[in-house]
Amino acid sequence: MSRKRLRTSQETRRWMLAFVIIFASLGSMRIAEQPAAAVGSYNNANIADIALGYVGQWGGNACINAGRSGYTGGTPGGQQYDGQCRAFVNCIVWMASGKTQWLGGGAGDYFKRFYDLGAQQITDINALARGDIVQSGHGVHTYIIVSRVSGSTFNVVDSNHSLDEKVQTYNRTVVLDANNRAFRLGTLFGEFNSTIGNNSVAVSTSTNGRLEVVGVNTNQPVGQSNIYHKWQQSPGGNWSGWKLVAGYLK
């Protein structure tokens, strides 16, 4: 074999060896996983809107309407401890998602079920939106974001804040860290819901079992229609968008 052919053959082998090394390296590399997207196609704000309809009530009433115990996961809803903060949120999410997302379980790990459902974790406090859920520790507290007041102060809604299993809405300072994590289970839509007054929402059950939420836009000029409602399209099913109803309420 001529020296030129030998040199060419050696160069070819070196290039082939280089490609083998490169592909072997790529094969051993772990491709960075993308954050899981929120699996719910429903409006994320539904979580807050429905929860606000229970302000002043026993949190377990949400589980009665959900038809499932937020504490045990069994039926019927409205059992002992269903007014606890996480049990209340479990039932609210169950209704808002059209009975497709259940936050119960986790064997004592209060963050696990969010990850199991593919919830989007929100780490930037400026990115928090209506309907996001904040879990503090394992069983410390669970609450729902309603609106931002200013800075790190948010209006929230939850149950058992005063250890009485009652649903309240109030302002609190929100901190996000390893022990206080925020999650989004639905999808953000630019809808009317962001302008609803924090205490101007009510929820009711129709004769055929569908839930309906009524809200008042407190920012609407006097004299203009400011009553909106949304409803389940079937019992336990998907939700409609907000629809304007003729009329004005202060």
Predicted local confidence at residue 24, as pLDDT: 40
Q: Is 107 left (phi over 0), alpha (psi -120 to 50) or beta?
A: left
Predicted local confidence at residue 89, as pLDDT: 98
For residue 122, what is the DSSP state? Answer: E
- Fold exhibited by the domain 46-190: endopeptidase fold (from Nostoc punctiforme) (3.90.1720)
Q: Residue ranges of the chain with pLDDT lower than 50?
A: 2, 4-8, 12, 15-38, 193-195, 198-199
Token pair recorded at residue 189: 């839509």
Amino acid at site 18: A
What is the reported pTM?
0.70
Token pair recorded at residue 187: 């999808």
**Do 129 and 116 form a contact (C-beta atoms < 8 A)?**
no
d(CA 161, CA 11): 73
